[in-house]
């Protein structure tokens, strides 16, 4: 199995497209297999999402409704509403697997791999990529 880690600075972006990093890693493998993408963090997740056409904004807006940034959370350290950040990975998984055909991600036409991160307390993330050849 081939592995690679990328250190990301997501800043205050709540959606960060990492499709290019994933595609480059898959291309280096040059064969069929499975790409596993993982964020080893308790407050971020990964999603397959159409970006740039409003879906990314819709997701962020609806996460604000679903996981409001207020004082209702039992987990209270950090910025106001930080408890919501810790619930996010139960809704948006911190891992996903994508088929790879001949070194190319087998994504749908409009699918992108994105980091979803509502936690502004920690702008640095690690993205772990693993490739299992078929």
What ranges do the domains of the chain cover? 2-133
pLDDT at 120: 85
Q: Which CATH superfamily is domain 2-133 in?
A: YjbQ-like (2.60.120.460)
Distance between CA atoms of residues 125 and 109, nearest Å: 27
This prediction has a pTM of 0.94
pLDDT, tens digit, 9 for 90 and up, residues 67-93: 998 989 898 887 888 899 999 999 999
pLDDT, tens digit, 9 for 90 and up, residues 20-61: 999 999 999 999 999 999 999 999 999 999 999 999 999 999
């Amino acid at each position: 199995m081939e592995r690679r880690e990328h250190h990301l600075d997501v800043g205050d972006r709540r959606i960060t497209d990492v499709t290019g990093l994933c595609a480059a890693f898959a291309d280096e493998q040059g064969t069929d297999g499975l790409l596993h993408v993982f964020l080893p963090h308790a407050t971020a997740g990964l999603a397959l999402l159409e970006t740039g056409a409003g879906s990314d904004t819709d997701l962020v807006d609806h996460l604000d409704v679903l996981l409001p940034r207020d004082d209702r959370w039992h987990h209270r350290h950090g910025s106001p509403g930080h408890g919501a950040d810790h619930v996010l990975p139960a809704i948006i998984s911190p891992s996903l697997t994508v088929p790879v055909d001949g070194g190319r991600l087998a994504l749908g036409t409009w699918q992108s791999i994105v980091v979803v991160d509502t936690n502004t307390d920690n702008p640095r993330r690690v993205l772990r990529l693993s490739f299992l050849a078929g």
